[in-house]
């Protein structure tokens, strides 16, 4: 029975052709002499054969381009960004108010929060200035997704 337990994980690899020649030979020899494993292998094959006929078709470029231009796609993208930004602002604002109102809050905590806020503002301002400066000459605006 120990031999069966060591062969069962290899049955799927045998069907997919992923075994080394030595492993495939060992599984084949075991299937020749073990009725239970041969029955399990045949059941796996019967279950997987219809799946092998399924083919995933990649959408063509036109369909993908239409998808990216749909109002739903643009809405979800912008809504996601807005929710993350608003959530972050509310969370940091709440922490700032809680820490500022707490006289027992230690200086490193206050400095850490100030660093997060100032760092975010600097990064946001940097990205905003870059986007505004390259708005009309964006070299990637013609690139299709």
Q: What pLDDT is recorded for position 88?
A: 86
Per-residue pLDDT tens digits for 15-73: 888 889 999 899 899 889 988 888 988 988 888 878 777 777 787 888 877 877 788 88
Q: CB pairs under 8 A, 24+ apart, for 48-55?
A: 48/15
pTM of the model: 0.39
Residue 85 has pLDDT above 80, yes or no: yes
Q: What pLDDT is recorded for position 144?
A: 62
Q: What pLDDT is recorded for position 77?
A: 87
Q: How much is the average pLDDT of 128-132?
A: 86
Where is 73: in which H helix or E strand?
Answer: helix 71-101
d(CA 102, CA 19) in angstroms, rounded, equals: 64
Q: What pLDDT is recorded for position 44?
A: 86
């Amino acid at each position: 029975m120990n031999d069966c337990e060591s062969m069962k994980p290899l049955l799927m690899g045998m069907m997919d052709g992923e075994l080394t020649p030595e492993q495939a030979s060992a599984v084949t020899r075991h299937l020749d002499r073990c009725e239970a494993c041969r029955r399990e292998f045949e059941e796996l094959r019967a279950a997987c054969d219809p799946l092998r006929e399924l083919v995933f078709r990649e959408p063509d470029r036109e369909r993908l381009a239409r998808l990216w231009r749909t109002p739903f796609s643009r809405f979800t993208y912008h809504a996601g960004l807005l929710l993350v930004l608003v959530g972050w602002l509310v969370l940091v604002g709440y922490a700032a108010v809680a820490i500022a109102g707490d006289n027992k809050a230690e200086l490193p905590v206050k400095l850490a929060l100030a660093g997060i806020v100032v760092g975010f503002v600097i990064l946001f301002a940097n990205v905003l200035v870059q986007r505004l400066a390259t708005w009309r000459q964006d070299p990637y605006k013609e690139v299709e997704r």
